[in-house]
Amino acid sequence: MSEHDDDLTLESGEVLTADQIKDITVVGAGPAGLFTVFSAGVQEANCRVIDSMPQVGGQLTALYPEKVIYDVPGFPKVTAKELVDRLHEQAQQFKPEIHLNETVVDVQRLKNRILAVTTSAGNVFYSRSVVIAAGIGAFTPRVPDEDLFAKHGEDKGVYTAVRDKSVFAGKDVVILGGGDSAVDWVMGLGEAAKSLHVVHRRNEFRAAGHSVSVMRDMAEKGTVNIITPYNFKTMDVDGNGHVTSVTVENKDGEELNLKCDRLLCLLGFKNDLGPIVKWDLRFEDSAIKVEADMQTNIPGVFAVGDIASYPQKIKLILTGFADASIAVQNCIPYIRPGKKASHVFTSVRGLPAGSK
């Protein structure tokens, strides 16, 4: 889709093909990031989006998926999860490259105005422009013991999200957590698991009342064992580092050892602006200062949504959408020097060929 076909030789001698260099790389797949992807597609700019979370949706997915939102134009009311699904579907029409579970740790300008975007997974992505849609920072799953969980990933039976239900089928599953996500997956995995324990530090669950009732019915039928008020203490592993059991304890120090070959930790997310503050960007009010074209002090780097600061800014989903549209419009002359973005009504021109 890009109009650029010039290859670029890096200082290391590596030659980048035009395909490796995207027009726009979006940091963050919250509502502003997802709408940036869509807006890029409308302008026939190819795009990749990177997010530290295991799913798209930013704050809506991490903090309030079941809450109802009333101030998104055109939706008298919509749950956060449903809005994310609609935004994701809209963005997917342009088949963007989506990288989840990767935090962008650095953005550097190379020669030929190309930007190198480095992630926590060790990937370096090349781009003609970058749109930072990082909201209130990178969300990463909260775990009870950072060091221990860093050593044991999905290959060792330890999960912080469910991407494929089948890996839990016929297994001894322990779920940590008491919110919507934990209770939803008790309901989702109950029938398939060989055994299922849910461990929560309080007797009351924070999840939606109806879901908690369903879970308690399942417990009465023996499909799930509810263990409260207990906290995770440690896990035992076999010679390959694979989890074999989990020890939990209550505040009196009483311990229980639970047989486990699939540990699913659903304790919510923590957020951290982290590496972004080191990228030589100008900040004001804990957000990145942008001009009216949404460009930051670094040429070719734009910011949108909650992370962007300008006079009279209101941090709302709808302002993030407008920011995204303005940023992409102003990316075009940057990524295609000499060209102006054509302002098009999608109702008049439709979507560019190539979209689904």
Binding site for ligand FAD (CB under 6 A): 27-33, 50-53, 58-60, 63-64, 69, 71, 103-104, 133-139, 275-276, 305-306, 315-318, 320
Strand, coil or helix: what is 229?
Answer: coil
Vertex 316: Cα angle to 310 and 319 (nearest 5): 55
Task: Tell me the closest approach of the beta carbon of residue 354 to ligand FAD, in angstroms.
Answer: 25
Residue closer to ligand FAD by CB (options 136, 341) is 136
Residue closer to ligand FAD by CB (options 4, 278) is 278
Task: Tell me the closest approach of the beta carbon of residue 116 to ligand FAD, in angstroms.
Answer: 15
Residue closer to ligand FAD by CB (options 176, 317) is 317
Say if CB 92 and CB 356 are below 8 A apart. yes
The rounded distance, in Å, linking the Cα atoms of 232 and 144 is 7
Cβ-Cβ contacts under 8 Å for 82 (sequence gap 6 or more): none
Residue closer to ligand FAD by CB (options 20, 309) is 309
Cβ-Cβ contacts under 8 Å for 221 (sequence gap 6 or more): none
Query: In whole angstroms, how large is the CA radius of gyration of the chain?
Result: 23
Task: Tell me the closest approach of the beta carbon of residue 63 to ligand FAD, in angstroms.
Answer: 5
Task: Tell me the closest approach of the beta carbon of residue 29 to ligand FAD, in angstroms.
Answer: 6
The rounded distance, in Å, linking the Cα atoms of 4 and 26 is 19
> At 47, which amino acid appears?
C
Residue closer to ligand FAD by CB (options 62, 189) is 62
Phi and psi of 15, rounded to 5°?
-100, 125
How many CB atoms lie under 10 A from the CB of residue 234? 15
Residue 131 tokens read as 């749109």
How many CB atoms lie under 10 A from the CB of residue 213? 10
Task: Tell me the closest approach of the beta carbon of residue 269 to ligand FAD, in angstroms.
Answer: 8
Task: Tell me the closest approach of the beta carbon of residue 275 to ligand FAD, in angstroms.
Answer: 6
Residue closer to ligand FAD by CB (options 48, 128) is 48
H or E element that contains 27: strand 21-27
H or E element that contains 42: helix 31-42
With CB atoms as reference, the residue minimizing the distance to ligand FAD is: 135
Residue closer to ligand FAD by CB (options 92, 195) is 92
Strand, coil or helix: what is 334?
Answer: helix
Q: To the nearest 5 percent, what fractions of the chain are helix, strand and coil?
A: 30, 30, 40
Residue closer to ligand FAD by CB (options 32, 264) is 32
Task: Tell me the closest approach of the beta carbon of residue 156 to ligand FAD, in angstroms.
Answer: 24
Task: Tell me the closest approach of the beta carbon of residue 246 to ligand FAD, in angstroms.
Answer: 27
Instruction: State how far Cα 49 lies from the chain centre.
Output: 10
Say if CB 100 and CB 29 are below 8 A apart. yes
The rounded distance, in Å, linking the Cα atoms of 92 and 84 is 12
Residue 337 tokens read as 């020097």
Task: Tell me the closest approach of the beta carbon of residue 301 to ligand FAD, in angstroms.
Answer: 13
Residue closer to ligand FAD by CB (options 184, 323) is 323
